[in-house]
Chains A and B, each alone.
Chain A
Amino acid sequence: MIRLEGIGREFRVGDQLVRALRNIDLSFEAGDYAAIMGPSGSGKSTLLNIVGLLDRPTTGDYYLEGQNVTDLSDGETASVRREKIGFVFQFFHLVPRLSAEDNVALPMTLAGVAPQERRSRVSEVLRSLGLADRSRHRPDQLSGGQRQRVAIARATVMQPAVILADEPTGNLDTKSGKEVLHILEGLNDRGMTLIVVTHDSEIGDRARRRIGLVDGSIETDLRQR
């Protein structure tokens, strides 16, 4: 469902050209659970941003569910992100002044879903993540693990095909980190494609597929059964 062909990404830093990604050929099947690993500066976040349509490749083509999404306009990529992709970030990125339920409802609000449907879907998602009693709390009243669970609820409420997680446990203690991973894996079990970026091999080892990036090139691509 995701196919990258000859993807390259170059940045200009001062008068130096930095090649963050070099000629990446990669594809993911629906329902995949993949970890993108590598040391910092290896280009793993850049790769995730390109897959998430937040960034554009300098060269190459990107097909998402058969559609070439390389050259879509900003408005069009926004609607693809809204319908098909859910993001989970290291620093949660919740809107501080909104309650947990309003944060979760935000993608639906932007999409223009009717308030009634919004409410029922939000409460359903929050309940399934064990946050029903926290729905009216603001982010600063929640623990790190709870915040990341709210963020996951927000990522999944539009029922996307792919969840992209960038160091989802990087800012959590071990216990809440494990909880968060279990939740993400549970979503994967129900058929969502899950791509996790991490530098932590312990987390990476849990994935069925491990992609190792070094200096912007794929060095290893292992599948385990």
Chain B
Amino acid sequence: MTVTDVLGFTVVALRGFRVRTVLMLLAMSIGVASVVVLTALGDGARRFVAEQFSALGTNLLIMLPGRSETTGGPPPLMGETPRNLTLNDALALRRIPGVRWVAPISLGNAEVSLGARNREVLILGTTEEYLHVRGLTMGQGRFLVTPDPTRASPECVIGARIREELFAAQVALGQWLRLGDRRCRVVGILGTQEHSLGVAMDEIVLVPVVFALALFDKESLFRVLVEARTRDHVERTRQSVLEVIKARHEGEDDVTIIAQDAVLATFDNILYALTLAVAGIAAIALAVAGVLIMNVMLIAVSQRTPEIGLLKAIGAPPGQITTLFLSEAAMLSTCGALLGWLAGQLGVWALARAYPQVPIGAPLWAIAAALGIALVTGVAFGILPARRAARLDPVIALSRR
């Protein structure tokens, strides 16, 4: 029997039992579609986070005061306070070759007021380099200009939302704001920013770092962002940064440096695992579809017992009968899988339209796996019914009407 004959016979058989065929295709395609859509969502989330991180710069090192791990020496009895991470520490890092930007950060809350209006805002003190490190865009005016970071010129840049709430329709540029017990002039307004890792840049007031330190009456910086020139420089820069800090802190490297890459990798791993888990759950739907195929094929075998007896009587060897029934199961699962893939892609497309900011798309491995599992389960669960058909006693099969 040629391949075309087998396929032709199978197609006619599938068309002959339309309801059964449609239900099977439905079951199979739901399984495949759910794998495609769910992995697309999971992978979309993973890529979304990855993009957020790389928007922050993949060459970024984040330095914070204090050491998170204990290295040697007896543990301090009274709880040693780490040395401050000062502005001068941060400025010293500028001299390291391979460092492109250094942005010191001082963070705190303060009340901002204009006339009778006031609200509590997040104040971020930094230098002009912060603009480059975070890739911010300006709406109006200019960013902070800090040729000498140690001087506190009374100016500020405000987020788009702050401008709306304080100034409404009035002109904001050049106006004076009261920040806590100090005053500063608005020199720029940030463009509408995407939320970047949970920090709402629309609701922030940026001031020169020294201004912020004075406002909060602090010596120590909150963080220092260091951007290496290239990705390859990251590790070397990290070493250099540690050495510089060690030299400045009487031989103690009492800072923690987090590489952006490491954080990203952690998130990546978590979300990848999540995607796999979700895909696994969806794969159960596929297995269920496989069991359904088995059931339906078993019913088909008992429905078509006389036909199988006839095929045997007119000279079909057991292998040929197995082939015919297996090809039915295989064709059901192939068509079901393809339909499911189409439906899944449609769902992914709809989701991508609904959430344009998340890069939703089923990864290739997931599609391949879904189609593969669909085919394998279809055929694997088709084997039992096909073998049962092949083993039927022709005399008994023919005696049934």
Contacts and interface: CB of A to CB of B under 8 A. Distances in A.
For chain B, the bracket of interface size reads 20 to 34
A82 B15 contact: no
Task: Give the 5 A-B CB pairs with smallest separation, nearest first.
Answer: A82-B315, A97-B16, A78-B317, A75-B317, A93-B310
Q: How large is the interface on A (under 10, 10 to 19, 20 to 34, 35 or more residues)?
A: 20 to 34
Given A54-B313, A95-B310, A110 B1 contact: yes
Interface in B186-241: none
Contacts of B316: 78, 82, 110
Given A55-B395, A78-B318, A97-B16, A112 B311 contact: no
B167 to A, nearest CB: 78
A55 B397 CA distance: 12
B309 interface: yes
B13 A93 contact: no
A106 B314 contact: yes
Interface residue SS majority, chain B: helix
Given A54-B398, A55-B395, A75-B319, A110 B12 contact: no
A40 to B, nearest CB: 13
Interface string B304-327: 001101111111111110000000
Contacts of B13: 97
A158 B316 CA distance: 13
B9 interface: yes
10 contacts: A54-B312, A78-B320, A81-B314, A87-B314, A89-B398, A91-B306, A95-B307, A95-B310, A97-B15, A110-B316
Given A87-B314, A112-B2, 20 more contacts: A52-B313, A54-B394, A75-B318, A78-B312, A78-B318, A78-B320, A81-B314, A82-B314, A82-B315, A91-B306, A91-B401, A93-B398, A95-B310, A96-B16, A97-B13, A107-B314, A110-B314, A112-B5, A154-B314, A158-B315
B12 A111 contact: no
Given A75-B318, A78-B318, A97-B16, A49 B312 contact: no
B16 A110 contact: no
